[in-house]
Amino acid sequence: MDIFIQQLLNGLIVGSIYALIALGYTMVYGIMQLINFAHGEIVMIGAMVTITCINVLLDAGVQLPGPLLLLAGLAMAIPVSMLLGFTIERVAYRPLRRAPRLAPLITAIGVSIVLQQAAMLIWGRNYRPFPSILPTEVHDFFGAAITDLQIAIIILAFVLMGGLFFLIEKTRLGRAMRATSQNPDVAGLMGVNINTVISMTFVIGSALGAVAGVMVAANYDQAHAYMGFMIGLKAFTAAVLGGIGNLWGAVIGGILLGIIESLGAGYLGDLTGGFLGSHYKDIFAFVVLIAVLIFRPSGLMGERVAERA
């Protein structure tokens, strides 16, 4: 039972990060019907910029508590990621908005590869350790262990998700985003600036992605230029599982995928008689993706949407 609770906690931690990243995918798809495959690389860049900023401050002899150093790193990483998301939309996606669906899809993959290679040129191919600046006190939870950092990750992820839902449901920008999602042409006739709404969607998703990237780096004590590819695919799987285009679906899909992956990693060795170990845990995301696409392509909370006129 202790192992089961531990795996559930691990799944909730990882799943809350997946959900945060999946929201970036599902917002863009809900408005543009586009899968932004470069989103995973924005997550990676947010983590790398934060680590670099913290190391610069430490090398300069700045004496600040760990949480304040982390906030300083985020204060640099979030604007960089937001600017990057805005630039990607403006340069790579906006000219192809009326193009056939295949063109922006190929462009998204191309942008992802370009960002990954740029990150390798800037930070190298090696793993970058996350600075040891945060408290590591371990708490007992019904026989399972959870650290202060992991508790903070869960709380912050749900606070950010709640803030996004408030933005979408209660603000003028949120109403414009919902209107654009329903029918961009009609929304434009009603006075909504479609270009601004789409750009803000990329900017908000990129900001959430930057925070998620720092969560990943802090939780695993490292980051590298390749990390965005795998975590981006898993978050995309979470969005598809929940019903891509549905915000609640992204949250539920992310948490559910994290728990499935964690439980699978914990019991995979026993289920296969030791043939497969926990290092094969990544297969679960893709097994879930294949199963969803076969049995419920619209996802758990997705709806069949009519083609736009």
Q: What is the pLDDT of residues 54-75, one digit of tens each?
A: 999 999 988 888 889 999 999 9
Residue 63: strand, helix, or coil: coil
Question: What is the spatial distance between Cα 200 and Cα 151, in angstroms, rounded to a whole number?
Answer: 30
Residue 300: strand, helix, or coil: coil
Phi, psi (rounded to 5 degrees) for 143: 90, -10
Question: What is the spatial distance between Cα 286 and Cα 240, in angstroms, rounded to a whole number?
Answer: 11
Model-level pTM? 0.91
Residue 101: strand, helix, or coil: coil
Residue 267 has pLDDT above 50, yes or no: yes
DSSP state of 301: S
pLDDT recorded at residue 116: 94
Tokens linked to 81: 């990621």
Sequence-distant (6+) residues with CB within 8 A of 106 are none
Question: What is the spatial distance between Cα 93 and Cα 36, in angstroms, rounded to a whole number?
Answer: 9
Tokens linked to 303: 């709806």
Q: What is the pLDDT of residues 75-129, one digit of tens each?
A: 999 999 999 999 999 999 999 888 888 888 899 999 999 999 999 999 998 999 9
Question: What is the spatial distance between Cα 101 and Cα 307, in angstroms, rounded to a whole number?
Answer: 13
With pLDDT > 90 as the criterion, what percentage of the chain qualifies?
59
Residue 307 has pLDDT above 50, yes or no: no
pLDDT recorded at residue 135: 80
